[in-house]
Amino acid sequence: MGVFDGKRPILYLLWFALSCLTRVAVASNGAQLNDKELNVLQKRFDSYYSNDTQISVQGITLGGWLVTEPYITPSLYHKAINMVSQYNSTYHNMSQIVDEYTLCQELGYDKAKDLLSEHFDTWITESDFKQIKDDGFNLVRIPIGYWAWKLDHEENLYVGNATYEDPYVGEGLQLHYLNRALEWASKYELNVWIDLHGAPGSQNGFDNSGQRNFYNKLGWLSDMDTKVLTLNVWGAMFDEYLNGGNSSNPIVGIEVMNEPLVPKLNIWDVTQVYYEGFDMFKEKQRKGDNTTFIIHDAFQSIGHWNMELNPHFKNVSNRHFNLTNVSYSAQSVLVDHHHYEVFTDSQLQESQFSRIMNIINFGDSINKELQYHPAVVGEWSGAITDCATWVNGVNIGARYDGSYYNTTAFETSQPPSGNCTSNQPIDQWSDEYKIAVRQFVEAQLATYSAKTTGWIFWNWKTENAPEWDYLQLKEAGLFPVPFDNYTYFSTDGSGSIDSDFSSSLSTLAYPTSSGSRTTSSTAAKKGVASSFRKINLQDTELRALSGYWKMVLYLFPVCISLVVVLL
Ligand SMILES: *[C@@H]1O[C@H](CO)[C@@H](O)[C@H](O)[C@H]1NC(C)=O
Ligand SMILES: *[C@@H]1O[C@H](CO)[C@@H](O)[C@H](O)[C@H]1NC(C)=O
Ligand SMILES: *[C@@H]1O[C@H](CO)[C@@H](O)[C@H](O)[C@H]1NC(C)=O
Ligand SMILES: *[C@@H]1O[C@H](CO)[C@@H](O)[C@H](O)[C@H]1NC(C)=O
Ligand SMILES: *[C@@H]1O[C@H](CO)[C@@H](O)[C@H](O)[C@H]1NC(C)=O
Ligand SMILES: *[C@@H]1O[C@H](CO)[C@@H](O)[C@H](O)[C@H]1NC(C)=O
Ligand SMILES: *[C@@H]1O[C@H](CO)[C@@H](O)[C@H](O)[C@H]1NC(C)=O
Ligand SMILES: *[C@@H]1O[C@H](CO)[C@@H](O)[C@H](O)[C@H]1NC(C)=O
Ligand SMILES: *[C@@H]1O[C@H](CO)[C@@H](O)[C@H](O)[C@H]1NC(C)=O
Ligand SMILES: *[C@@H]1O[C@H](CO)[C@@H](O)[C@H](O)[C@H]1NC(C)=O
Ligand SMILES: *[C@@H]1O[C@H](CO)[C@@H](O)[C@H](O)[C@H]1NC(C)=O
Ligand SMILES: CC(=O)N[C@H]1CO[C@H](CO)[C@@H](O)[C@@H]1O
């Protein structure tokens, strides 16, 4: 999860233009949708629903497990503080343990290993996988840090005979749990997408990379050591997880780096290492293996990666790497976009209507990208504020109430948006807030299901950050069960549609041509079907899958057909 939603100039421009328009056209700036706004949105969503077989990733992330995050499991961090203060009487200040790096550093290897082992053992178990399956998800994204591939902490020895010094616990500990997770995923017929969430030196400075670094230069790719180690770790991942490994391997995709933060990193460096990783990936991937190479968009605008890693645009790839001898299609690469609405002041001040319109426009722009690469919204949440305790970091406050600016060196000229309440348990939220969150979740589900290769919610669970917590949201009735059982944006035409809308509102409801999906629906089915026939799933796998759509889902390249249609 990113602590800021990147620089997407085009999107913001779009958002800005749109929110200006909408504020003029729909006279409401409130936290709640008025009837007119609801109608506009319902109309828009109606154009999404059709009898198309829904072919999309419906995923969930197991964040805060193999890479810990203070806001997901604050108790782990409180325990660490207590442990340190027990043997160090001068330690009574939380400021030194703010991420997994400092947790390991302060505790020392053995104590950190004990604490983390207990966490790995208990935070996610087989029953989570069973429930993920029962709840209808078809994919699990599992974040892991590069330090899992540390071989010997005394020698600072890593895979590929690299030496790199850091305090992290590794030596195969996380891999043991990952392998167990893969067995559970196989047992419950869930696909897995592995996500390298932490890079040597940190690729973004967010605490979820293992190492928080708000103010200084990032370490990743700043020297050859971090790059060599990254390539070694990728090599180990590809050796282990490509080519089916063995019959029970449920891995359908490997995301080589989560949220590399450009412009704090150089875009050219990131692109270059993506190419080197891809070349290695293809070198190690045997014929017949369909595992997808996944890149995060590095906070670049939608469309930025269209021509990269795309065999139809060799003029673009040649600037970085000659893939002349590599056989691949544009569909071998999937682009992962993350989207949150809470990490800038301007996002926090949006009305509910413009927040949802923003999602709709985001979906439309990703849709245009699908003719180049499949694209998933690989992180999103129910959050409409950044109030969850520690979501911006240990001892860091929220932008929403201004406390962020009291606890960091960042400044703002904006007055606070409001007072935080969503850091409280859901039963203490106002009805208005609950409605806003449920609508926001529905809007994202509807949009990402119809307009993208699919979605992955962040996160499966947390201790006390309910807006980011699927299980708590579901329990409180703020996440649809099943996923398309909408309360506010109904799929059956029973929504409160007023057919007599003013033309300005209709334009708003249909800012782009609405035809592409509906007109192509029959063709889409044909495309999927014919591409599916070409994909000879092994018999065992076929038996393991129940519905037609699930079979299709099993393979990411499903978008091939969508793309064929769109072209
Ligand atoms: C889907 O198809 C069924 C039967 O063909 C039809 O009754 C129903 O109205 C259709 N729904 C939509 C949203 O088109
Ligand atoms: C105890 O904590 C203090 C303050 O955090 C630190 O400076 C010191 O190095 C620690 N001592 C030991 C033995 O870890
Ligand atoms: C904790 O330590 C930091 C610096 O290490 C210091 O800025 C802060 O004031 C301390 N807080 C308390 C409560 O002692
Ligand atoms: C690993 O690296 C060390 C020095 O860094 C070297 O002495 C050793 O021969 C290397 N081992 C292998 C198997 O390459
Ligand atoms: C198959 O692969 C999984 C995941 O890598 C591993 O846990 C399991 O032990 C392997 N099984 C065999 C028989 O090698
Ligand atoms: C590569 O070629 C495409 C058209 O084939 C063009 O749109 C694009 O601008 C070119 N890019 C570069 C970097 O030359
Ligand atoms: C591609 O393969 C050929 C034959 O093996 C080799 O001569 C050539 O150098 C390779 N090209 C690149 C860019 O690796
Ligand atoms: C932030 O600091 C300002 C100035 O000291 C203070 O007025 C305000 O109450 C603080 N806000 C929060 C949320 O702590
Ligand atoms: C926060 O609450 C206080 C006290 O109820 C109130 O005076 C203030 O206006 C509120 N701030 C915002 C931004 O809503
Ligand atoms: C849809 O959700 C409602 C509550 O919002 C629930 O009563 C109903 O049973 C759900 N439908 C299905 C098919 O589960
Ligand atoms: C990968 O897809 C191809 C068709 O695109 C299919 O022939 C092959 O069996 C698939 N491999 C696996 C392991 O499913
Ligand atoms: C990075 C690199 O070496 N690019 C070269 C790839 O091949 C083309 C010609 O096919 C050269 O123009 C590039 O410089």
Place of tokens 């891995």: 251
Q: Which residues of the chain have pLDDT under 70?
A: 1-30, 47-55, 91-95, 245-248, 491-567
Please tell me the distance between residue 91's alpha carbon and the centre of ligand 2 in angstroms: 6
pTM summary value? 0.82
What atom of ligand 6 comes closest to residue 316's alpha carbon?
Answer: 13
Non-local CB neighbours of 203 within 8 Å, separated by 6+ positions: 209, 218, 220, 221, 257, 258, 259, 260, 261, 265
Please tell me the distance between residue 546's alpha carbon and the centre of ligand 2 in angstroms: 57
Place of tokens 């329990």: 475
d(CA 128, CA 120) in angstroms, rounded, equals: 13
Mutation to probe ligand 5, out of 190, 248, 252, 291 (largest number of atoms < 8 A from CB): 248
Identity of the residue numbered 285: Q
Identity of the residue numbered 344: T
Q: Report pLDDT for 6.
A: 40
**377 and 337 Cβ atoms separated by less than 8 Å:** yes
**Helix, strand or coil for residue 455?**
strand
Q: Report pLDDT for 248.
A: 60
Mutation to probe ligand 9, out of 385, 404, 419 (largest number of atoms < 8 A from CB): 419
d(CA 207, CA 338) in angstroms, rounded, equals: 17
Please tell me the distance between residue 499's alpha carbon and the centre of ligand 1 in angstroms: 20
Please tell me the distance between residue 291's alpha carbon and the centre of ligand 11 in angstroms: 10
Per residue in 428-446, pLDDT tens? 999 999 999 999 999 999 9
Residue 485 CB–ligand 10 contact under 6 Å: yes
Q: Report pLDDT for 289.
A: 87
Ligand found nearest the CA of 240? 5
What are the catalytic residues?
Answer: 259, 339
Residues with CB under 6 A from ligand 6: 313, 315-316
Identity of the residue numbered 400: Y
Which H or E element spans position 540? helix 539-544
Residue 95 CB–ligand 3 contact under 6 Å: yes
d(CA 292, CA 277) in angstroms, rounded, equals: 13
Two tokens, residue 362: 């985001």
Two tokens, residue 14: 């779009």
DSSP bridge partners of 294: 255, 334
Is domain 35-525 annotated with CATH 3.20.20.80? yes
d(CA 446, CA 463) in angstroms, rounded, equals: 27
Two tokens, residue 8: 């997407």
Nearest CA to ligand 3 atom 12: 93
Q: Report pLDDT for 43.
A: 75
Q: Report pLDDT for 152.
A: 98
Two tokens, residue 390: 């520690």
Q: Report pLDDT for 497.
A: 31
Which H or E element spans position 296? strand 292-296
Ligand found nearest the CA of 232? 4
What atom of ligand 2 comes closest to residue 106's alpha carbon?
Answer: 14
Ligand found nearest the CA of 414? 9
Q: Which of 118, 129, 4 is nearest to 461 (CA)?
A: 129
The burial of 354, by beta-carbon neighbours within 10 Å (0-12 exposed, 13-18 middle, 19 or more buried), is given as: buried
d(CA 544, CA 567) in angstroms, rounded, equals: 33
**145 and 168 Cβ atoms separated by less than 8 Å:** yes
Residue 406 CB–ligand 8 contact under 6 Å: yes
Per residue in 118-137, pLDDT tens? 999 999 999 999 999 999 99
Mutation to probe ligand 10, out of 473, 475, 478, 485 (largest number of atoms < 8 A from CB): 485
Q: Report pLDDT for 369.
A: 95
The burial of 165, by beta-carbon neighbours within 10 Å (0-12 exposed, 13-18 middle, 19 or more buried), is given as: exposed
Give me the residue spans of the domains in the chain.
8-29+546-566, 35-525
DSSP bridge partners of 289: none
Instruction: Judge if the upstream peptide bond of residue 263 is cis by omega within 30 degrees of 0.
Output: yes
Distance of CA 473 to the CA centre of its chain: 18
**Helix, strand or coil for residue 191?**
strand
What atom of ligand 7 comes closest to residue 322's alpha carbon?
Answer: 13
Please tell me the distance between residue 309's alpha carbon and the centre of ligand 6 in angstroms: 13
Residue 90 CB–ligand 3 contact under 6 Å: no
Q: Report pLDDT for 31.
A: 77
Q: Report pLDDT for 133.
A: 97
What atom of ligand 12 comes closest to residue 321's alpha carbon?
Answer: 1
**194 and 241 Cβ atoms separated by less than 8 Å:** yes
Q: Report DSSP state, residue 416.
A: P
What atom of ligand 3 comes closest to residue 93's alpha carbon?
Answer: 1
Ligand found nearest the CA of 108? 2
Residue 401 CB–ligand 8 contact under 6 Å: yes
d(CA 147, CA 233) in angstroms, rounded, equals: 9
DSSP 380-446: --S-SSS-STTTTSTT---TTTTHHHHHSS---SSPP-----TTS-GGGS-HHHHHHHHHHHHHHHH
**278 and 284 Cβ atoms separated by less than 8 Å:** no
Pairing outcome for strands 292-296 and 251-255: parallel
Q: Report DSSP state, residue 193.
A: E
First to last CA, the chain: 33
